[in-house]
Amino acid sequence: MAILRILEFPDPRLRKKAVPVEAVDDSLRQLIDDMFETMYEAPGIGLAATQVDVHRRLLIADVSQEKNEPHVLINPEILGQEGSEVTEEGCLSVPGYYEEIERAERIKVRYLDRDGNEQESEFEGLLAVCVQHEVDHLQGRLFIDYLSEVKRQRIRKRLAKDRRQHQESAAIL
């Protein structure tokens, strides 16, 4: 297993649209294992392939406290949604930012599991929010796209400044 590098906003590769996975094989399962290791280590509760620069329709999630309820969704398709709820979201690709975002409370999704079998599941609560957030990533969309342009610019500048400071301190060492 390996820890993968997570792309960070405003990296243009986060804007790429993922294409469908064609074969659920061992190399895909290797990627899935690496994504879980990366997500648990970060730590995060969801990760889309787009975030690790693989532009295939694949996402993983685990919203459990014990990190023992892994979900793998390949070629996910949201078939229906119900209700709405507001959740404070963050994103491994936009580190340090949390914003309240409104999404559907329950969703019905069709996808392939890690064995390539077709599944249809209903998700609710945090898991539903997480899957919607990750499906957005696969479409090149970030949670901060729901915010105003002014707010997004502020986040972009702040992250660029944080990165410069890291580079400066790295040079000193």
Closer residue to Zn ion in complex, CB, 21/136? 136
- How far is C-alpha 165 from the chain's CA centre? 26
Binding-site size for Zn ion (CB under 5 A) equals 1
- Annotated active-site positions, please? 134
Q: State the nearest-atom distance from the C-beta of 169 to Zn ion, in Å.
A: 26
Shortest reach from residue 8's CB to Zn ion, in Å = 10
Give the one residue of 74, 91, 127, 144 binding Zn ion; rule: CB under 5 A.
Answer: 91
The backbone region for 84, taken as left when phi is positive above 0, alpha when psi lies in -120 to 50, beta otherwise, is: beta
Is the Cβ–Cβ distance between 78 and 120 less than 8 Å?
no
Q: How near is the Cβ of 109 to Zn ion at its closest, in Å?
A: 17
Give me the residues paired with residue 46 across strands.
61
Contact 63, 126 (CB under 8 A): yes
Q: Which residue number is nearest to Zn ion in terms of Cβ?
A: 91
What is the DSSP secondary structure assignment for residue 102, as one 8-state letter? E
Distance CA 159, CA 157 (A): 6
Q: Is residue 58 within 8 Å of residue 22, measured between CB atoms?
A: no
Nearer to Zn ion, 24 or 101 (CB): 101
Burial of 10 (0-12, 13-18, 19+ CB in 10 A): middle
At 54 the three-state DSSP class reads coil
Whichever of 28 and 91 has its CB closer to Zn ion, that residue is 91
- Binding part of the chain for Zn ion, among 27-35, 88-96, 115-123, 164-172 by CB under 5 A, reads 88-96
Q: Which stretch binds Zn ion (CB under 5 A): 65-73, 87-95, 112-120, 160-168?
A: 87-95
Q: Which is nearer to Zn ion, 91 or 127 (CB)?
A: 91
- Which residues inside 123-162 make contact with Zn ion, applying CB under 5 A? none
| Residue ranges that bind Zn ion, judged by CB under 5 A | 91
